[in-house]
Amino acid sequence: MGRRQELEQRQSLLARFGRMVAAETSLDTLLGIIAEEVRNILSADRCSVFLVDFYKGELWTKIALGMEEKVLRIPIGQGIAGFVARTGSAVNIRDAYKDTRFAQDLDRITGYQTRTVLAVPLRGRDGKALGVFEVLNKAKGSFTEEDEGLLRILATMAATFIENATLYDDLRRSHLETIYRMALVAEYRDQEDTGRHLRRMSRFSGILAQGMGLSFLEAEDIRYAAPLHDIGKVAIPDSILRKPAKLTPEEFEEMKKHTVYGAKMLANAESRLLRLASKIAVGHHEFWDGTGYPYALKGEAISLEARIVTVADVFDALSSKRVYKGEWTVEDAVKYISERAGKQFDPKVVAVLVEKLPEILEARDEENRRMVEDEAASLQQHFPVSQASAPPPTSKPS
CB-wise, 58 or 190, nearer to ligand C2E? 190
Among the listed residues 233, 264, 321, 348, the single catalytic one is 233
Strands, E assignment, the chain: 44-53, 58-65, 73-75, 91-93, 117-123, 129-138
Q: Give the residue closest to ligand SIN by C-beta.
A: 199
223-242 footprint of Fe ion as x/- string (CB under 5 A): -------x------------
Q: Among this protein's residues, is 233 annotated catalytic?
A: yes
The CA angle 385-388-394, to the nearest 5 degrees, is 80
Q: Is 285 in the site for ligand SIN (CB under 6 A)?
A: no
Among 56, 173, 325, 343, binds ligand C2E (CB under 6 A): 325
Q: Is 227 in the site for ligand SIN (CB under 6 A)?
A: yes
Question: With CB cut-offs between 5 and 8 Å by kind, which of ligand SIN, Fe ion, ligand C2E, none does residue 177 bind?
Answer: ligand SIN
Instruction: Please choose, from the candidates 31, 32, 35, 58, the residue with its C-alpha nearest in 3D space to the C-alpha of residue 47.
Output: 35
> Do residues 233 and 189 make contact, with C-beta atoms less than 8 angstroms apart?
yes
CB of 363 to ligand C2E, least distance (A): 18
Cite the DSSP H helix spans in 267-303: 272-283
Sign, CA torsion 292/294/300/305: negative
* Per-residue CA distances from 248 to 33, 77, 241, 317 (Å): 57, 71, 12, 20
CB-wise, 115 or 322, nearer to ligand C2E? 322
- The CA distance from 200 to 19, in Å, is 32
- Classified as helix, coil or strand, 184 is helix
Among 203, 233, 279, 348, binds ligand SIN (CB under 6 A): 203
Task: Give me Rg for the CA atoms of the chain.
Answer: 27
CB of 237 to ligand C2E, least distance (A): 11
- Interacting span for ligand SIN (CB under 6 A) from 56-64, 222-230, 267-275, 289-297: 222-230
Residues 136-175 that bind ligand C2E (CB under 6 A): none
Binding site for Fe ion (CB under 5 A): 230, 313
Binding site for ligand SIN (CB under 6 A): 176-177, 180-181, 198-199, 202-203, 223-224, 227
Residues designated catalytic: 233
